[in-house]
Amino acid sequence: MEYQIRLAGLEDLERLSDLWAAMVEEARRQVPDLAILPDSRGYFLQFAGVGIASQNAGIYLAKRGSELLGFVLGQIVTPEPPFLPEPYGYVAALYVIPDWRRKGIGGALMRSLTQWLAGRAIRRMELHTYVQNEEAFDFWRSVGFVVLGLRLGAKVIPPLNPRLCRQTKRPE
């Protein structure tokens, strides 16, 4: 099972947007309440295109012949105050088509992205993943990522907990 990993260019974005759309649909099934842009493909084309043109994003693709098997999209982020302005790599997306998972492609894509970031003097990476996606969570841990915190979410309407909406009486 031979495949190639290479840096994507602007000419690859239209085909990569098909993988992006597949990734978004898979995420929608795993996390039903996920708010997804109606035109997520258009967003990908814009975001990835600007990132490649500005050299602020690196996209690696995996392919076998003319078939695209997966991709990783990383970008360089500089935190805003109060955090130190040390740039870091952010893994915005990684997707491998289901038939090609667990064959080393995700790891190979991450090694390529890591080298791209290291070549730009980036010393650390971060990402967000959903704990509902156990396969992804296990993968990220297997390639060296650790939990730094926990991001929680709750619906505002209707209230999660009715006690949060009770009026309190003022002392007289």
Neighbours of 157 (CB within 10 A): 5
To which CATH superfamily is domain 4-165 assigned?
Gcn5-related N-acetyltransferase (GNAT) (3.40.630.30)
- Each residue's pLDDT tens digit, 6-37: 999 999 999 999 999 998 888 888 777 777 76
In 10 A of CB 2, how many CB atoms?
A: 5
Q: For residue range 39-90, list pLDDT tens digits in order.
A: 888 889 998 999 899 888 999 999 999 999 999 999 999 988 887 788 999 9
- Sequence-distant (≥ 6) Cβ neighbours of residue 123 within 8 angstroms: 86, 88
Residue 166 pLDDT > 60, yes or no?
no
Instruction: Give exposure, 108-145, as e/b (b: 16+ Cβ within 10 Å).
Output: bbbebbbebbeeeebeebeeeeeeeeeebeebbeeeeb
Strands 88-96 and 4-7: unpaired
pLDDT tens digits, residue range 94-120?
999 999 999 999 999 999 999 999 999
Q: Collect contacts of 97-102 with beta carbons under 8 A, ≥24 apart.
A: 97/19, 97/22, 97/68, 97/69, 97/70, 100/3, 100/62, 100/69, 100/70, 101/135
Run of H or E residues at 50: helix 40-54
CA-to-CA distance for 30 and 137, rounded, in angstroms?
A: 13
Domain ranges of the chain: 4-165
- 171 pLDDT above the threshold of 80: no
Which element (helix H / strand E) includes 74?
A: strand 67-77
